[in-house]
Amino acid sequence: MARLDSGVGAGAARRTARVRKITTNGISWRRRAYIAPWMAGHVGMRVRLRYLPHYDGQIEVFSTEERGRHLGSAYLAEAATVEQRRALSSVREKKARQLKADLKAAERLRKARYTAMTTADAPRSRRTVTSSQAEAEIARARGTDLAARALPDLIPPREAPASWVRPVVRPHRPASRQADAGQPDDGRPPGKPDVRDDSGER
């Protein structure tokens, strides 16, 4: 594969925004390690990466101190062998065929078909299902439904952090005896209006 800092690869290459550091295990990108012989003696150096969107087996490493300086190429460590890739491809194809067969069978069962009628009558399904068959299929569907298998009470929620603002719970105040007797809380007898004189006093 050609270098990405020149030629056609330079226009198609993408840059990573995050600055990374060369470690003893190479450079970590997308949870995978990339290594190269030139990294010896550069442990701790901060770098930026460029890569091709359609190929992740090789990345190009650039210095952050000297803008645009290409340090070298790095390659995926512990890449799968040819035999492993072939076996993985076979497993994926088998899984895809099984999913297609399951989808085809589910679509066939989903469609409701009825018998031909010569007179006006209630429609009759061509396939009859027993009660035990219906319960068994419903149970299998519930077993694969993650939402139905969730147990919200199994793991209680964690306590809210102390920095969070919590609602204020006001204590309940019972009604006063004066209010129950029909006397206002301000001490005035019931039925007497609140009269103010010119001085503003009661």
pLDDT at 63 over 70: yes
pLDDT at 165 over 80: yes
Q: Which residue has the higher pLDDT, 186 or 142?
A: 142
Instruction: Write down the pLDDT at residue 161.
Output: 86
Are 46 and 20 contacting, i.e. CB atoms less than 8 angstroms apart? yes
Determine the number of helices (DSSP H) and then strands (DSSP E) in the chain: 5, 7
Are 71 and 38 contacting, i.e. CB atoms less than 8 angstroms apart? yes
Tens digit of pLDDT for each residue in 34-47? 999 999 989 999 99
Predicted confidence band of residue 1 (pLDDT cuts 50, 70, 90): very low
Alpha helices by DSSP H, 71-181 = 82-110, 131-144, 146-149, 177-180
Instruction: Write down the pLDDT at residue 189.
Output: 55
Predicted confidence band of residue 51 (pLDDT cuts 50, 70, 90): very high
Helix H or strand E segment including 12: helix 8-12
Tens digit of pLDDT for each residue in 75-133? 999 888 889 889 999 999 999 999 999 899 888 888 878 888 888 888 888 778 888 88
Instruction: Write down the pLDDT at residue 159.
Output: 83
Q: Which residue has the higher pLDDT, 71 or 138?
A: 71
pLDDT at 167 over 60: yes
Instruction: Write down the pLDDT at residue 101.
Output: 93
Predicted confidence band of residue 192 (pLDDT cuts 50, 70, 90): low
Calculate mean pLDDT across residues 134-150: 75
Contacts of 153 (CB under 8 A, 6+ apart): none
Q: Which residue has the higher pLDDT, 200 or 32?
A: 32
- Phi/psi of residue 167, each to 5°? -70, 145
Tens digit of pLDDT for each residue in 5-35? 554 455 577 888 889 999 999 999 989 999 9
C-alpha of 94 from chain center: 28
Instruction: Write down the pLDDT at residue 191.
Output: 55
pLDDT above 90 as % of the chain: 30
